[in-house]
Structures are given as structure tokens and as C-alpha cells.
Amino acid sequence: MILDRIEMAHRYATLHADFAESFRFLADRRLADLPAGRHAIRGDRLYAVKSSATARRREDVVLEAHRRFIDIQFVLRGIEEMGWRSRLQCGMPSADYDAERDLEFFADRPSSWVTVKAGEFAVFFPEDAHAPLAGSGEIVKVVLKVARQGDVQRGAGGPAAPRP
């Protein structure tokens, strides 16, 4: 897991072939004008999902993990608390892995929490189970889904994103 400000994202651009483009997309000032929903950036291998939600109590969020995608979660407005636990330490799956959605849930509780403020991002690799959307108030965020190198999500096209 990585936690940092968008101004420092250049430090991580070489960790993955699509990270430089991902961070350029997130750093664009017009991102706030992007409508809610899914936006293709590079087909099925890199796309953004913009959403807003009312934060929940820590007790009410659930650990999730992905096998094929890395999440870059960027907070545009609000303050979000995100739980974390090593996937290797998750021993209580609460549902079978959903390959179509690349999603699995765990009944385990996070072992630590990070606070992610507007202008900050958290990167969750497949080894990182995470519990998003804790805190208070409204959270507006963009989650970039970055296919692990060599992986592409099956059957998940989407409308092209207006380039911020």
C-alpha cells in the first residue's frame, strides 16, 4: 500500500507501465468536472470510476481485495478513512471470489487505518485488502483500476472518458 499527495505521485510512476498515465489523469485540474461513473482511459486495462458517497462508521465497512487490478483511490473532496490488512492475514472470506467483478470480501477486520484527505491517494495492490469509505460526511473520489501487467478485465468495456 502507498499513501501520498498527488504532487508526489512522480515517485511511483515507474512501479507499473500504466502508473505515469494514471497519475497524469488524476493530477488534471478538470477532474472535478468529470461526471460520476466509469470512464475508459486505456480500454479494459486502465479505467476510472468517479463516485460520491456518505462515509460510514469503521464498524460498517468491509475488507475487499482484487486479484487482477490495482486500485489507486484519489480523494477529491472530504476526508476518508481506509482500513488495511495484508491479504495473507485474511482468513475469513465472507463470499466467493467474483471473477467478473474482480472482487472478494472478507469478514476480517482491518489491522490498521489511514486517513486520506482531498488531494491524496492510496494505492492498493492485490496483496492489500482494504476497507474504503469510512469517516464522516460526503466523500467524492476517483478510483483508477489498473490491470496488473499482463492482466485485462474480461468483458468490461465502458464509455470513453472525456480527457481531463
Per-residue pLDDT tens over the stretch 40-91? 999 999 999 999 999 999 999 999 999 999 999 999 999 999 999 999 999 9
Q: How confident is the model at residue 130 (pLDDT cuts 50, 70, 90)?
A: very high
Per-residue pLDDT tens over the stretch 11-31? 999 999 999 999 999 999 899
Q: What's the confidence (pLDDT) of residue 150?
A: 62
Q: To the nearest whole number, what is the mean pLDDT of the chain? A: 92
Please state the pTM of the whole predicted model: 0.89
Q: What's the confidence (pLDDT) of residue 110?
A: 98
Domains of the chain, first to last: 2-145 (2.60.120.370)
Q: What's the confidence (pLDDT) of residue 154?
A: 41
Whether residue 162 is predicted with pLDDT greater than 50 in this model: the reply is: no
Q: How confident is the model at residue 164 (pLDDT cuts 50, 70, 90)?
A: very low
* Contacts of the segment 47-50: beta carbons below 8 A, 24+ positions apart: 47/144, 47/145, 47/156, 47/158, 47/161, 48/142, 48/143, 48/144, 48/145, 48/161, 49/142, 49/143, 49/145, 50/76, 50/140, 50/141, 50/142
